[in-house]
Structure 1
Amino acid sequence: MYAAWYYWKPDIIYLHTNADEQGQAITRAREGQSGKWNKLIFDMFDNLRINTVEAPTHTNTGKEIQGMEHRSDFVRVKQVHELGGVYIDFDVHALRDIRILRESGFKAIAGRQLGGQINSGVFMSVKGGKMVELWMHGMHTAYTGGWTTHSNEVITKFGERLVREPGEMLIMERDAFAPGSWENDDTDKLFEPHDDVPSSLVNATDTSPLPTYDEAFDDRWETPGDYPDWARDWSSTYLLHAFTAARWGHKVPNFEKITPRYVLERRSNFARAVYPVVRQMHEDGIFGIDDLS
């Protein structure tokens, strides 16, 4: 959320939830009873709006929508249709500004994932756009209980067809929004830490700035020795959909969980991708060295 706020400077950030803004769950989070990081969500952003919506239980054809993940799919499409804007999952990390895309003149933009389908964890549309309206209605008839039948498959079906209509749909290449995948090899390459590079936290304190790693355009080929073989170039990625392996039961080697320390040590591809914005959070005093774990 901080990365989207920092890079994009949005007018409004909507947190779509089925929890009431005055209810127990959000009240506990605001008061810090569910941890520092949850409290920060409600403290940091003056433009945050809690958008309480009822999670649907059935399609308009009467089929039961099984699982909160599928209900979330229906909510996100309907809300973007009603509000317009950019939707991102919580495991999607902004790496740079997307103003150039938002102002490109296209009424809807999304990107491909592994296998060629359009990924539904990141998409943007004008309010009431043709793509999102077709998707909103089409997902009800397409729903079978399959993982992506009503989501990725439907946006791919309509999105690819709409490319031929000028300005209606732009489909970005895979590296733009979902460069990795949910497969074990890709999650290993993203999250596995490596000990062949020094930690960026050596001699770090709350009063000394953490190092920056600004690359010149030609550094990668002029000084290739400065980059380990495993380090990915994130230059062509606007948003990183960081699929986690934990939900599939796969254990990434030497990796436990994402923490400020893990990111700021900058020893994995994920850490290198999000390091700049986490460094900025540290510089802004959002967390200190004592919070690293």
Structure 2
Amino acid sequence: MIRKLIPGALALGLIATSSAQTPDAAPKQEAATPAVEVPAKPKLDPAVIKADSSYALGFRTGGGFTQQFGKFGVGAADLDMDNFVKGFSAAIKGGKPELEEAKLQAAMEALGEMLQGREKEAAVANLAAGKKFLEENGKRKEVTTNKSGLQYEVITKGGDEKYVAPKEGEEANKQFLVHYKGTLIDGKQFDASPEGEPVPMTLQVVDGFKEALTTMPVGAKWKLFMPSELAYGEQRRSADIGPNSVLIFDLELVKIEDAPAPEGGGMPFPMPQGAPGGPQGGPEGAPEGE
């Protein structure tokens, strides 16, 4: 993060206390505020600038690659990094690929077939692991299991205020201010709201989140255990959230309020963004409905 330098205060001049002072009266003075020196920006060596900015651009490009192709199940282990860098270098220089188009196409088709087979296996394995986890988790006395299959544990009860559904014919216009963190059953965190102020969320979320938001009291903190059918089902959501994944959320409902009017026909407000490197559960934040 580039920090902006704030200029220091200017030194104040002498101020006379009265225009009617006699010539031999010494004018009163206010203590001058010492000037604050603004630290000079360090001058970086051009080689350092090139090296560090290249790394930054590469890191950001890698993050974009993970978001774009991770939802298809492509990971670092699927790449020959030397050839990946060669292809990247050729493209960024505007060159031509070393391999003929037919060979490139055949390789990509074979990769797609491999990924499809692997995703089917992951879906079966995740479904079995999730079922076992929920069965064991549901036996704990602290856990409530709803008819839908959603499990939750009350961490903080909260108050009496709850969501009130609009009457028939009325439009739902509420937003929910929340803090949340999402993990998988193996404990890996895939998403979290930013620290500080709660983030707004509508009911345009997956069914498990919608059920919790509309039933938990304001001020409550719940731990949600969400079966895959209440989340993303057989769909891979990201590099971390594979098909048939059970999702766990720490959710705090801070406030329910009227949603602001939509601007330009878009969503009533921007959906929350996920934390760097992990949050990919929903609008790259909270889970969205599909």
TM-score (norm 2): 0.24
Question: In terms of Rg, which structure is larger?
Answer: 2
**Which structure shows the bigger proportion of residues in helix conformation?**
1
